[in-house]
Structure 1
Amino acid sequence: MNNFRHNAFKLFGFIASVIHYGCVGHCALEYGGNFVLCSGPSMEPTILTNNIIVSEHISPRLRRIKHGDIVISKSPINPTQFICKRVTGLPGDKIYYGYSFCIVPMGHVWLEGDNKNNSSDSRSYGPVPQALIRGRVICRVWPLEDIRMLTDRPY
């Protein structure tokens, strides 16, 4: 009976540790940042298909997104999909595209892919609610020979 009790306490301790570290891991990925595998040509040549990037989740929560930031957002046309685009307009900005223009409303941003000829972005679906932004891209970590920071803002 003593051996059973000892093993039960060890099992309980192991389960408690798994739950504890699982919660810490979940909070780190949900509120801190995470790794994202990119696919699609819309951000070429900055980010290529199968590149892995690191995004942080603090800037969007604090509404500290700026012109030129690359962000990960839920797609405004397919909420089960995530998109990676560059912020080219903030609330109040006048955006010219094609033969028209749009004033970005409060609480929204204008997102465009770097590959203007092969990107579905705000030019087709309009301003994106800031609440859909999940992270700001910090750097590319894969492939290893092409690691670099992606926080340089060209605007």
Structure 2
Amino acid sequence: AIFQGYIDDEKNIAFSPLGYSAILAILAEGATGETREQLVSALHLPKDQNLTRKTYRFIMERLKNTHEYKYNQPELKNYFYIYKNYTINEDYKKILEDYYLTEVRSVERYNPDQEFNKPSGNDENGEFVVDLPDKKQDDIKNDDIPELMPPKESDEKLISFAVEDTPEK
């Protein structure tokens, strides 16, 4: 089921078991109680959190900083997305950055009713503008949590713990 969205994709995409275990370990870092216990048990993590953190950092640094590739240069990039105007515990953020080599980014919620306008010219930052149409009184309903949908026209890729390998010959 996980790969069905990539059946017609013409690129080679690899999903790493290490990536999935790192995602779950990151979740375990922020979890408490029974949820944390279940994640630690499923991943067979040691009781010592520092040992877990140091091990993931060692592995991630080794994968991220190895430049011994002659033709292909896979990249390892990890992002943890937080909705804009939400906060993240600073200790948790530091753990993600220091031990899991994960960059914490702020994202805006996207509502399908919004209009997408790409600015003219070349925007190196990959920024875009979202215009919100004015709502009429009879259109107002409970929109406290709109669905998160990526913009339809975006140059940014969101690949979580996947390696895209482009041969150079």
What interval of TM-score do these two structures reach, taking the shorter chain for normalisation? under 0.3
Query: Normalising by structure 1, what TM-score?
Result: 0.22
Query: Normalising by structure 2, what TM-score?
Result: 0.21
Structure having the higher Rg: 1
Q: Which is bigger in relative contact order (C-alpha 8 A, separation at least 6)?
A: 2
